[in-house]
Structure 1
Amino acid sequence: MTHDFSDIQQQFESYVNDIVYATMTTVDAKGRPRARVLIPVWEIVGGAPLGWLVTYKTPVKAAHLAGNPHTTFSYWDRRQNAVAVDTVARWVDDPAEKARIWDLYRRDSYDPGRFWTGPDDPKYHLLRLEPWRIQVIRGSDLKSTIWRATLVGADSA
């Protein structure tokens, strides 16, 4: 285990950029999981990862996150390379941040214009993903490394 994200940053970025799609899992009020496949984007801020997800604020997703903001993003490929990202998610309504992340998506993964008319579209929503634990697994030998944040804004247990 490490608290220095630079120990896994290269492997994390390589796998996430190669795999692209992640399974996002939330839980309902009865503790039942729900998974959906989405494309988060990641940036490094102050030496730590920070994720963003442009998404629809569906009633199910909104209710799950209101009841429990902890979510997991899981990446996997056929070579058995994998990344598991445990986060605390929160909705962001700031227009400037929504516009910035719109541009980040256009540069890094795909054009959100396929789903929304622009960052001011009322159906366009943004989730900030603050990781507290990331595990990367190299498929060739199943070597696993876990990063944990040193300071967490919410309970990480």
Structure 2
Amino acid sequence: MPNSLPETAPEFVEMAHRIVWATVATVDPGGRPWTRILHPIWEWDGEQLVGWVGTSPTKTKVAHLGANPYVSLTYWHPSHDVATAHCAATLLTDDERRTWLWELFRTAPEPVGYDPAIVPAWDGPLSPAFAALRLDPWSVRVQPGAVMVEGKGELIREWRAAG
């Protein structure tokens, strides 16, 4: 039986923010998968889990999300801790959202927080090269490495939206 989101989300956020970098897959208009490494930050308010990525709105990414507005992302740690989310993805380029996200990353504690200005193409939150990618998961899975490697430890947590 799947866990509830309130049972799963805090463990997912803890693992994601500890690992920091996720492999993220999109699907191009021809149905072919593409992967990249991204640095999401997650917000959990007790009811809703939302991920955010500061990213460049490249032609490739815009085309993929325009044709298939979904991503699958996986965090992996050498201890075999794994966290996965399947999400609806929305690329946002409005000034208010980009400024908000820039500040969120700039003021968040390390290791998930960082100064976005370190990316050479991003000369500020209103740079044409900077966009906000919103991630709304419909499925989240957290698997501590001890479960996979040793067959013991914490239980796997998994949540799926109804429908």
Q: Secondary structure of 1:141's partner?
A: helix
Q: Secondary structure of 1:8's partner?
A: helix
Counterpart of 2:156, as a letter, is S
Alignment-derived partner of residue 113 in structure 1: 117
Alignment-derived partner of residue 151 in structure 2: none
Counterpart of 2:107, as a letter, is R
Alignment-derived partner of residue 149 in structure 1: 161
1:89 aligns with 2:89: yes
Q: 1:46 to 1:8 in 2, by over 3 A?
A: closer
Q: Supply the distance in 2 between the matched residues of 1:59 and 1:79 (Cα, whole angstroms).
A: 36
Identity %: 34
Contact 2:9 2:140 in 1 (8 A): no
TM-score of the pair, normalised by structure 1: 0.89
Q: Supply the distance in 2 between the matched residues of 1:69 and 1:95 (Cα, whole angstroms).
A: 21
Q: 1:144: Cα distance to partner? A: 2.0
* Root-mean-square deviation over aligned CA pairs: 1.5
Query: Segments of 4+ in structure 1 off by > 3 A?
Result: none
Q: 1:117: Cα distance to partner? A: 1.5
Contact 2:55 2:130 in 1 (8 A): yes
Q: Secondary structure of 2:128's partner?
A: coil
Alignment-derived partner of residue 26 in structure 2: 26
Q: Secondary structure of 2:53's partner?
A: strand
Q: Supply the distance in 2 between the matched residues of 1:61 and 1:20 (Cα, whole angstroms).
A: 21
Alignment-derived partner of residue 153 in structure 1: none
Question: 5+ unaligned residues in a row in structure 1: which ranges?
Answer: 151-155
The count of residues paired between Structure 1 and Structure 2 equals 150
Q: Supply the distance in 1 between the matched residues of 2:67 and 2:45 (Cα, whole angstroms).
A: 27
Alignment-derived partner of residue 78 in structure 1: 78
Q: Secondary structure of 2:37's partner?
A: strand
TM-score of the pair, normalised by structure 2: 0.85
Alignment-derived partner of residue 138 in structure 1: 144
Question: 5+ unaligned residues in a row in structure 2: which ranges?
Answer: 149-154
Q: Equivalent residues in 2 for 1:37-52 (5 A)?
A: 37-45=37-45, 47-52=47-52
Higher strand share: 1
Q: 1:61: Cα distance to partner? A: 1.0
